[in-house]
Structure 1
Amino acid sequence: MSSSTPITEADLHAWADGQLAAERAREVEAYLAARPEELRRVEAWREQKAQLRALFDPVLDEPAPARLLRAARPRQAWWLQRLAAGLAIALLGGALGWGLRGQLAEQAPQLAQAGPAGDARLPDLAERAAIAHAVYSPDQRRPVEVDAAHEDQLVAWLSKRIGATMRPPHLQSLGYALEGGRLLPGASGPVAQFMYRDAAGAKLTLYVSRESGAAEPAGDTAFRFARRGELNVFYWVDGPFGYALSAGAERAELARVSAEVYKQLGQR
């Protein structure tokens, strides 16, 4: 790759992950040396990645609980193993994720709305979640139908309409306050959307559907990543439910929030 090739966002991510060839890495380093603000941004990615590894890598070394080995309660700690696998795929530079970054860098106009496998469009769950986020998150007057001050009413209403308990995860420890939620039409029935806001006013939405269980292989609850323009989506399927987190946040930040949502859902 010649020095005349522009430095892309994908190059910066690859450099932060230590994935570039030596020659291209030197070009990126020269580029960053002349741009202190960009360098600070990339170094922040590295620091965030190190923090995530420190937080979740120990899970990989934990022995299986004795109760699981006895198969007495096989679902009690199910989220630990799946969380480790999902984060390994989503955060630590698996081949699929890295291939997506390269495709986006080289073919952005064609793949701006592509899913992680390079589909012509996002998977249905991620597509609907992204559209719902784009439609409602900019609304300043009525972003939700029932606000967080009436959370009990929101839970009762959504649970009755969808036919299952729809209680929003609490994400204050991650810096996101619940704004409320709404009922949305899905492809064949109602779905729920919970909306959160951080201290800077950025919105994050959790989309919950009972329509997506048959869309993925049975027992496959791995995190998946998709992108629609500037919007990132992390989504997964667990039994009859499909979940999708959408935000304009960086991929690593959205993965961090997804892990906490996944954990809280598994404890209920």
Structure 2
Amino acid sequence: GWWLRGWSGGVGGGGAAFVADAVAAHRVFAVEVHHPVEVGADQETHLVGWLSKRLGKPLRAPRLAGKGYDLVGGRLLSDAQGPAAQLMYQDAAGRRITLYIRPASGAPDTSFRFAQDGNVQAFYWRDNGLAWAVTGDLDRVTLSAIAEEVYGALNS
């Protein structure tokens, strides 16, 4: 929590808790070899429909091939606010990034915020009734470009 001191702004009512959950989920699942996701990218239509239904908002799995990342799949998670979703992407070198998504209350806050915990960094924002976090063990500039790509894909 110390790395987010001073920010109590609200991605879904608690920005610090939200990004901490996103980072924790990334750390748990990004290293998995055999079971990194519940539903693979080969079932993307089912995955997106299922997660959309559980979160109560329409989702899309952004295309990140332009940044070198392909969808691995995703999973349903839970946090203190209720259901959450995680989409995982991987590049040719095996590096993984995750998108952590949960319903967000309140007015949109489309400005990106940044957090870092050790080697894991996250850019996060709230838009269209959802809170989003792009998380990975990447440098800040690279992760920022990916977050901008995600935001653009979701709002095109």
Same fold flag (TM > 0.5): yes
How many residue pairs align between the two structures? 150
Counterpart of 1:198 in structure 2 is 91
Deviation, structure 1 residue 219: 4.0
Q: Aligned equivalents of 2:23 and 2:143: distance in 1?
A: 13
The correspondence for 1:247, drawn from 129, 136, 156, is: 136
Partner secondary structure for residue 199 of structure 1: coil
Q: Answer yes or no: is 1:213 the counterpart of 2:105.
A: yes
Identity, in percent, stands at: 41
- Structure (1 or 2) with the greater strand fraction: 2
Q: Answer yes or no: is 1:256 the counterpart of 2:148.
A: no
Deviation, structure 1 residue 155: 1.2
Contact 1:232 1:247 in 2 (8 A): yes
Contact 1:116 1:224 in 2 (8 A): no
Q: Aligned equivalents of 2:3 and 2:123: distance in 1?
A: 13
> What residue ranges of structure 1 are gaps of 5+ in the alignment?
1-110
Contact 2:47 2:73 in 1 (8 A): yes
Higher RCO, 1 vs 2 (CA within 8 Å, ≥6 residues apart): 2
Q: Aligned equivalents of 1:249 and 1:266: distance in 2?
A: 24
The letter for the 2-side match of 1:200 is A
- Structure (1 or 2) with the greater helix fraction: 1
Q: For 1:163-190, what per-residue CA distance to the aligned partner results, in whole angstroms no more than 9, with x for missing partners?
A: 2212210101110010000000121311
The letter for the 2-side match of 1:174 is K
Runs of 4+ off more than 3 Å = 116-119
Contact 1:213 1:239 in 2 (8 A): no
Larger-gyration structure (1/2): 1
- Pair 245,202 (structure 1): closer, same or farther in 2 beyond 3 Å: same
- Pair 220,157 (structure 1): closer, same or farther in 2 beyond 3 Å: closer
The letter for the 1-side match of 2:85 is A
> What residue ranges of structure 2 are gaps of 5+ in the alignment?
9-14
The correspondence for 1:128, drawn from 7, 13, 21, is: 21
Q: For 1:189-227, what per-residue CA distance to the aligned partner results, in whole angstroms no more than 9, with x for missing partners?
A: 1111000001110110001110x334xxx3432100001
Q: Aligned equivalents of 1:228 and 1:238: distance in 2?
A: 24
Q: CA RMSD, aligned part only?
A: 1.8
When structure 1 is superposed on structure 2, of 142-151 and 163-172 the one drifting more is 163-172
